[in-house]
Structures are given as C-alpha cells and as structure tokens.
Amino acid sequence: MSERLAIVADWGNLSQAECDILRGAAGLSAEQADHMIENAIGTLALPLGLATNFLINGRDYLIPMAVEEPSVLAAVSNAARLFREGGGFYTHSDEPIMIGQIQVLDVPNLERAQQALEAERDFLLREVDSIGGSIVKRGGGARGLEVRVFPQTAIGPMLVVHVLLDTRDAMGANAVNTAVEYLAPHVERLTGGRAHLRILSNLTDQRKAYAEGMIPHASLKTADLSGVEAVRAIVEAAVFAEVDSYRATTHNKGIMNGIDAVVIATGNDWRAVEAGAHAYAARNGRYTSLTRWWQDEDGNLRGSIELPLAVGIVGGATRVHPTAQVAMKILRVGSAMELAQVMAAVGLAQNLAAMRALATEGIQRGHMRMHARQLAVAAGATDDMVRRIAEQMAQEGNIRLERAKELVKIFTSFHQPDSL
Ligand code: MEV
C-alpha cells in the first residue's frame, strides 16, 4: 500500500498532509462530522481504492473509488484495460441542467394558467437569474420553463411548473430549491392557484452523461471460448437485461457498484444519483438496462451507457470532506460535466467486467478468492499471512472461517510462511 501511495502522491502532487488523509492517519474528524449532520456520534470509514487503466477521450485517469465490496476495483481496472485495447472510452454529456418543480393546486382555469405562465416565461427566468448568485456569475442560470398539466388527480386538477437551471460545476440542489421557492409567489399570481411543493427533481434527465467504447474480440478470448464466441456470450447476457426487469435490476446494480464508488469518493450525493439512474432505466414504462452491447461488423464488442448524473465538483461534501478533496486532486477533472463522464465510463467498464465473468467462468471463483482474504483477516491473519492463507484455502477449495483460523494457528506456530 505504501508503494501505491507513493505513486499516487507523485501523480496527484499530494502533500504529506494529503497522504496522511489517505492512510487514515487524518481525515474527517469527529468535530467536522458534528458540523455536517445532527446528533453526530462519530464517523464511518470505507476502503478507498484506485481504478487504473482508464483512457477517456485520449486522457489517462486514476479514479478513486470508495467501496466495501471486494472485486469491484480489480474488475473495473481489468475491464478498463480491455477498453484501452480498443482505443479507450469516448464520452460526452449534456449541459449541467437541473429541474426544479412547483406543484400548483386549486387553479381555476388550467388552460389560462398555462398560457399566463408561458406569456411571462422571460420575466420568470429573469427573476430566477436575479437570485442566481455565484451560479449565474460562473455562466449558469435559468434555461427554460415547462408547464405540465394533470387535469385529473385524486386531489383534483394539478399543474406542475418545471424550472430548468444550469448549475455549472455545482450539483445544484440548493440553488434549484432556492429558485423554486423564490418563484412560487409569482407562479401563484399568474395562475391564480396555490403553490404547494417546491423542490428539485432527482430525475435529472436533462443532465445525462454518455460513454461508449470498443473491445477487440481477440482481447476477450478465454481458455474455453474464442474471442468471437466470448463477444456473443456477452451480448447474450446484455440482451437478457434489456428484456427482463429482474435481470436488469442486478445488471444495473453492477453498473452502480462502480458509479456509486466514485460518487462517494468525490463527496457527492449517491442517493440522488441512484434515484435518477433507476428512474431513467424505467423511463419507457418498463425497467430495463442502462447499457447497450452489440457486435460490430468486425466482430468486436461495442458498448454504450447513458444515464442522468447530477454531480458537482464545488460545494457540498466535496469541499468539506478532506478525503473527497484529495480524491478530486487525484482525479484532476476540470468540470462537473467531466466528472459525470468519468463516472459513465466507470459504469460501462464495471458492467462489462460483471457480464464477462458471468458469461464465461461465473463470478464465484473471483469472488471466493477475495472472500478468502476477508476470512483470513477475520481469523486474525495480518500482513502477508492474509494472502498466503487465502491462497491456501482457495487451493484446497475449503474457504471457511474455521479453516482460516486453523491456518492462522499453523502459520503462527511455525513462523514460516513456506511451511504451508
Ligand atoms: C455484484 O455486486 C454485481 C453483479 O451481480 C452485477 C451483475 O450481475 O451484472 C455481479
């Protein structure tokens, strides 16, 4: 680990204090935690790893990921290596536009209200900008107004006003909520109705990120399958998730294994990202896969992903959490849009890794190897003993806590790793 830390310190130009944060010697203090939430009683640490091999739009990235699940980092780095053999990932994203909602009830005439809002559209957008503050100064601001009508609901007719706000490098929840609360009295005046809820939508479908990439079939060859057969096996796995919601849920969970880990490492709101991703996966009325995979005319594997990703690089925990700040320094992204694109690439790679394992040898072999390491640690093994005991149990096909404990005893009594 110290060797890795030295390399990443060099890469990210990290100070000693920043390295101490990564090592766990410093980091989020109980006092800082007490300022972040109510009734704080402490902090909870997670492993922070680095995903390697990522080549995105011609640039190399080291990607910090915070996750407790074994295999995620190894799998995503391995998948990124395969994409690199096909030229890396190509990504792009929408502008960082968030949606704020105002629910309007008791509207005397829905049609007239809608017309009044549309007639005053420019005025309303100017009003939003007038309180936009730093977001407007940085080039963001109001971008649009939409009116949606629900003539019949259980509580009568309902009108919903959407305010579209470009929040630039911020995730933007506060800016959006402030904007809709500020605008609500104007909306009441124009519609003659009563503004009820005023809150952002986490279905941030105006703020999507896209990634795609190719893997040469030769890179997918296994002991049992030719490259072209492996491509076919992976496409078969992907189509399963396209047609079946039960499979799509697990398939997308695997994608979010990667995306959430970057979202958490960078101090972003992973519940918001999760909510948006799954709602988007169900946008056509049936929950389906967030990715598409196909075989191109040269027999190579191609994949793409598209999902809403409302993440920021300023404000929120990103600026408060010391580890998130170091993670951002390692990642070296220049904008929220770039961060979202990196996350999309990670999601695509994580998905490939899972499907490749599932479509070839199954995932249990790799998982059990990592599980063996966890059991060795739980049995009291330290340092190199962890690896040796895990390997021994894997070789024996006997990966159990009792066996790990026996091996710790044997190992400790002999004091000789090779006696295993
Ligand atoms: C496990 O955390 C994730 C997978 O189940 C994803 C998948 O099935 O695609 C392996």
Q: pLDDT, tens digit, for every residue of 36-65? A: 999 999 999 999 999 999 999 999 999 999
The predicted pLDDT at position 231 comes to 98
Q: Which residues partner with 92 through β-bridges?
A: 210
> What is the Å distance from ligand 1's center to 354 Cα?
6
List residues with catalytic annotation.
Answer: 69, 253, 269, 367
Helix (H, G, I), strand (E, B) or coil at 413: helix
- How far apart, in whole angstroms, are the C-alpha atoms of residue 22 and residue 103? 45
The predicted pLDDT at position 378 comes to 93
Residues framing ligand 1 (Cβ under 6 A): 69, 250-251, 253-254, 257, 354, 358, 363
Residues 348 and 281 in one domain: yes
Identify the DSSP state of 334.
Answer: -
Domain total of the chain: 3
Residue 44 lies in a domain: yes
Domain that residue 345 falls in: 2-91+218-361
The predicted pLDDT at position 250 comes to 98
Residues 141 and 160 in one domain: yes
* Spans of the chain, pLDDT less than 50: 419-420
Q: Which of 334, 361, 388 is the last residue of a domain?
A: 361
Query: Which residue has tokens 């739009």?
Result: 57
Residues 354 and 237 in one domain: yes
> What is the Å distance from ligand 1's center to 234 Cα?
14
Residues 232 and 165 in one domain: no
Hey, how many other C-beta atoms are within 10 angstroms of the C-beta on 190?
21
Residue 37 lies in a domain: yes
Residue 327 lies in a domain: yes
Residue nearest to atom 2 of ligand 1 (CA): 254
Helix (H, G, I), strand (E, B) or coil at 164: strand
Residue nearest to atom 4 of ligand 1 (CA): 254
Residue 53 lies in a domain: yes
Residue nearest to atom 7 of ligand 1 (CA): 251
Residue 209 lies in a domain: no
Residues 35 and 163 in one domain: no
> What is the Å distance from ligand 1's center to 264 Cα?
19
Q: Please say whether the beta carbons of 210 and 344 come within 8 A.
A: yes
We report the CATH number of the domain holding residue 249 as: 3.90.770.10
Residues 183 and 197 in one domain: yes
Residues 320 and 398 in one domain: no
Strands 291-295 and 59-66, sheet pairing: unpaired
Closest ligand 1 atom to residue 72 Cα is 2
Closest ligand 1 atom to residue 351 Cα is 9
> What is the Å distance from ligand 1's center to 370 Cα?
15
Residues 139 and 251 in one domain: no
Q: Which of 201, 230, 255 is the last residue of a domain?
A: 201
Residues 62 and 158 in one domain: no
Burial class (CB in 10 A: 0-12, 13-18, 19+), 135: buried
Residues 274 and 152 in one domain: no
> What is the Å distance from ligand 1's center to 57 Cα?
27
- How far apart, in whole angstroms, are the C-alpha atoms of residue 196 and residue 80? 47
Helix (H, G, I), strand (E, B) or coil at 14: coil
Which of 224, 226, 202 lies closest to 216, judged by CA? 226
Residue nearest to atom 6 of ligand 1 (CA): 254
Q: Please say whether the beta carbons of 396 and 373 come within 8 A.
A: no
We report the CATH number of the domain holding residue 385 as: 1.10.8
Q: What is the pLDDT of residues 57-108, one digit of tens each?
A: 999 999 999 999 999 999 999 999 999 999 999 999 999 999 999 999 999 9
The predicted pLDDT at position 365 comes to 73
Q: DSSP string of 31-53?
A: HHHHHHSTT--------EEEEEE
Residue 207 lies in a domain: no
Closest ligand 1 atom to residue 355 Cα is 9
Closest ligand 1 atom to residue 363 Cα is 10
Helix (H, G, I), strand (E, B) or coil at 68: coil
Q: Which of 144, 171, 201 is the last residue of a domain?
A: 201
From 239, 253, 371, the mutation candidate for ligand 1 (largest count of ligand atoms within 8 A of CB) is 253
Residue nearest to atom 10 of ligand 1 (CA): 354
φ/ψ region of 168 (left if φ > 0, alpha if ψ in -120 to 50, else beta) reads left
Residue 210 lies in a domain: no
Residues 84 and 222 in one domain: yes
Which of 211, 210, 187 lies closest to 197, judged by CA? 187
276, containing H or E segment: helix 270-281
Residues 65 and 196 in one domain: no
